[in-house]
Chains A and B, each alone.
Chain A
């Protein structure tokens, strides 16, 4: 079940919150409805999720009871990783083995393909961070299986993050209050995320998908650049929108999930980009892989090795395909290049040039990430550079650059470039501006609250209407 579906939005979401508040914010309600949420998308993998819960719950207790026995932690982490390997990477590894066997002249090898369980990458990482945090003494193991199961399954973050570490919500598991202000704040964040997903990401998704599907012979430099720009906007607003919805629901339930994005396209370098993009993942890799590997403490070469390894795994975490591996390596290489001196050169450049550098590097990265294969990515790069352009036929830039796409791209650029803007800040700014007019100053709070509320409701309505349009599927006139 995805958040931007009628089933979730019009049925599951209201049902959950009614039951949640009627039950007095019960953990059992969160657990049971989260299981339903998960089962809706993959009933066959519910036992696996339950297995993960039991294994990590037991391992957590064991690690907590004997933190000095490192092998217990190692066993728990290995179990988490081996399941991820089995379900997510076995097929990929088999493909490579088949290719190798064919190259060596051997026959086809037997295959054992498993369907990919929803959210396995997220709940595997959650499990590992839980066990490591206990072993480090950062958090105490949860003794209640129900409460632990609630944490592991909490539907807002179950299948697409943000990766919520146990210690980030541990204090709220036993009891939480949801004030009216917080409920409203969460709902507004949810509305914002829904709008980002349905109105911005979905609008540019159409040209992005269509252009990346074009046959090689029809791709021109213009369409390739447009497709890349659209995908850049799509992936950010899709993911940031989803994260905002998750964080918003977290607030509505009384939890504070970590922020996942901080205007990443405003970064001035790749290093800075990774401090702003998918922060719950990048900090996970930092805390549980990069730093344990030695971070930047073991000399230059070790730092580079660690960066390459971390980003290779970060790429593969996104999917079992060479494109993701190369994308990860590409990001890692740029981090190293910046450490080699490019960062110093950049620091001396005019700010817009630094920004342009970041956007170009990130855009090229997204081409590798989005392409179905490395050869498609290669062709895309060639065409973007003006080599091997095809004949557009019925797929020129003008077909995809419709007024709504132009508006969405422009809106995305403005939103991305805008400084962090919040209701509180606007209130403060207005109060300052209206300091000399006491009556107007007094009306600021109410006016701003009403304006933000109305804007959020308009976003929800527009997003719901756009969703309805996706369900409208008329067959053409029967006479044709």
Chain B
């Protein structure tokens, strides 16, 4: 082919490919959906036909939002870009979930607007003594309320990755995380009844690190070994119970619980979980486990139960933030029955539903032990929130 022809063809091909690249996402919006990732949000709806001047003014913004959410291959592009960035730089998109060292992924904040606020709190950065005093007072009030509902009430604060895997934090964060908020808060709680009913199982979990990841490498929540160590520390160390059975386990590969924030970056973890079938334990997860709660169960959403016939007839009630679910199974050797509810959504129940809930879990179920579980990053707000959701009007 003559030289000019090659150049001309390459120009033609370039122009065609250039326009093709830019036209494809717009033209293929309806059928090129790409990979499926749960964004946990409602995508922008199509803009409505404007019927007033105000609606007309708002229309371009609505259209922009809609088009930005619905062009073809959007999620494929997100995945490709995130993957390329991770491979090239070892980085995640945004600062809400970031890799530290040794492949560990840290959730730095519960919202995207205040990155590092969660790690900052856990590590005690800029946490004033006044704030700690207030948190201690709230915990005290919460515990007294809890005791009024069930005498055998306990509080467990779950250490999260910054407290357990400080060595995996980015070097600049390590120096900030030498004394955690819990280290400073615990001395304020060592008084009266609360001291005997509060558990912060960091030592037990740190010891368990030799047996595996107490918090899976790319998880925010604990799973497997870590939850098991905390359950044993509570049941045997605090309650003095002995295991009635050996709980068989199996290893499963599970997706990261914050993986959708860094779509495209591999984050699966191999975790050791109780083998309920082999153990003869009936484990149930989700609203269907509690038909008596009716529609309230769907609102609560994060709830589970367990029946362990070999473990006797002791009953445990776990009321928690999002850290309760992983804990339930590990109590199978100690309790014949375990009920677990996250209290996060209880505030959305009607007054009647909440009253019925309280009646069922406290009066009808009659737990021998009530365990309130919260993670160390929520210690300053969860007691108030939980008290309001559980015992508010």
Contact = CB atoms under 8 A, between A and B. Distances in A.
Interface of A: 1, 5-7, 9-11, 13-14, 17, 39-41, 43-44, 180-181, 183-184, 187-188, 191, 393-394, 396, 398-399, 402-404, 407, 442-443, 445-446, 449-450, 453, 456-457, 460-462, 464-466, 468-469, 471-480
A394 B171 contact: no
Interface stretch (B69-77, B128-136, B207-215, B346-354): B69-77
A43 B68 contact: no
A339 B84 CA distance: 50
Nearest to A13: B22
B78 A468 contact: yes
Contact of B14 (A398, A402, A407, A456): A456
B376 interface: no
A191 B18 contact: yes
A184 B78 contact: no
Given A43-B57, A399-B172, A466-B81, A472 B90 contact: no
Chain B interface main SS type: helix
A10 B67 contact: yes
Interface stretch (B239-247, B257-265, B383-391): B257-265
Nearest to A194: B22
A422 B377 CA distance: 55
B19 A14 contact: yes
Interface stretch (B3-11, B147-155, B182-190, B333-341): B3-11
Chain A interface main SS type: helix
Most A CB atoms within 10 A — which of B39, B40, B68, B91?
B68
A477 B25 CA distance: 28
Given A11-B67, A471-B69, A402 B25 contact: no
Contacts of B93: 469, 472
Given A6-B68, A39-B60, A469-B81, 7 more contacts: A10-B23, A393-B176, A446-B10, A456-B14, A468-B81, A474-B40, A477-B322
A312 to B, nearest CB: 36
A477 B22 contact: no
Nearest to B170: A398
Nearest to A206: B95
A394 B71 contact: no
A460 B16 CA distance: 13
Contact of A43 (B56, B176, B261, B344): B56
A217 B325 CA distance: 41
A477 B325 CA distance: 14
Interface string B243-284: 000000000000001101101000000000000000000000
B15 interface: yes
A301 to B, nearest CB: 51
B25 A475 contact: no
A453 B85 contact: no
Contact of B260 (A7, A17, A43, A474): A474
Most A CB atoms within 10 A — which of B13, B18, B220?
B18
Contact of B12 (A1, A180, A404, A478): A180
B6 A446 contact: yes
Contacts of B18: 187, 191, 456-457, 460
Interface residues of B, number: 75
A461 B25 CA distance: 11
A5 B10 contact: no
B301 A478 contact: yes
Most A CB atoms within 10 A — which of B25, B38, B258, B344?
B25
B1 to A, nearest CB: 9
6 contacts: A449-B6, A464-B22, A469-B93, A474-B261, A476-B107, A478-B301
A460 B25 CA distance: 13
Contacts of A188: 14
B364 interface: no
B40 A11 contact: no
A462 B80 CA distance: 9
B363 interface: no
B110 to A, nearest CB: 5
Nearest to B41: A475
A453 B13 contact: yes
A269 B119 CA distance: 46
Contacts of B71: 6, 10, 468
A41 B57 CA distance: 9
Contacts of A43: 56-57, 60
B219 to A, nearest CB: 11
B258 A449 contact: no
B57 A473 contact: no
B206 interface: no
B111 interface: yes
Contacts of B322: 477, 479-480
Contact of A475 (B8, B39, B126): B39
A449 B11 contact: yes
Contacts of A442: 3
A181 B13 CA distance: 12
Interface string B33-66: 0000111110000000000000011001001100
A99 B225 CA distance: 65
Contacts of A461: 21
B39 A473 contact: yes
B8 to A, nearest CB: 7
B181 interface: no
Contacts of B77: 464-465, 468-469
A453 B10 CA distance: 8
B149 to A, nearest CB: 24
Contacts of B80: 465
A184 B176 contact: no
Nearest to B38: A474
Contacts of B6: 445-446, 449
Given A6-B68, A399-B172, A442-B3, A476 B17 contact: no
B116 interface: yes
B304 to A, nearest CB: 12
A469 B60 contact: no
**What are the 10 A-B residue pairs with the smallest beta carbon separation, nearest first?**
A468-B77, A453-B14, A446-B6, A398-B172, A479-B322, A465-B81, A403-B89, A10-B26, A475-B40, A14-B23
Most A CB atoms within 10 A — which of B3, B75, B81?
B81
A473 B41 contact: yes
A252 to B, nearest CB: 9
A290 B258 CA distance: 59
B342 interface: yes
Contacts of B260: 474, 477
A301 B375 CA distance: 70
A466 B60 CA distance: 22
A37 to B, nearest CB: 11
Contacts of B228: none
Nearest to A14: B23
B168 interface: no
Given A449-B11, A472-B263, A41 B60 contact: yes
Contact of B78 (A183, A462, A469, A477): A469
Interface string B317-329: 0000010010000
B82 interface: yes
A446 B89 CA distance: 34
B369 interface: no
B157 interface: no
A264 B217 CA distance: 47
A478 B348 CA distance: 14
Given A184-B11, A446-B3, A471-B68, A476 B126 contact: no
Given A402-B89, A450-B10, A468-B74, A5 B40 contact: no
B94 to A, nearest CB: 9
B120 interface: yes
B258 A17 contact: no
